[in-house]
Amino acid sequence: MTATKKIQFDASEYVISHGTNPRGRGSWAFSTTREMDYEPEQEKTYDEHKVVVGPSYIWVHRSTFTEAKRLAAFFAKDKNWPGLYVMP
């Protein structure tokens, strides 16, 4: 993976909802907008993780937040998205 640009992540909605910064293992959703409409466009498996990439979101299952963020940045760069919200 080559980083050509840095993807900005905004976790404010997550912090408001959970009262803490995102961390740990689980399923993580990232969206280009503050609200996420779930319409799967394609599913990919990457490094043993199920990754669902939609028209404006990325959903990473079975991973730590750090791993999910890395995968989300990879797909966001591919789609030329400047930033992502961490969904609650």
Contact 54, 40 (CB under 8 A): yes
Confidence check: pLDDT of 68 > 60: yes
Residue-level pLDDT at 43: 62
Residue-level pLDDT at 42: 64
Contact 13, 83 (CB under 8 A): no
**Two structure tokens written together for 58:** 């990325």
Q: In degrees rounded to 5, what are phi and psi of residue 74?
A: -60, -50
pTM: 0.82
Residue-level pLDDT at 2: 44
Q: Where are the domains of the chain?
A: 25-86
Comparing 5-14, 32-41, 67-76, which segment has the lowest mean pLDDT?
Answer: 32-41
Residue-level pLDDT at 3: 47
Residues 56-77, mean pLDDT to the nearest whole number: 91
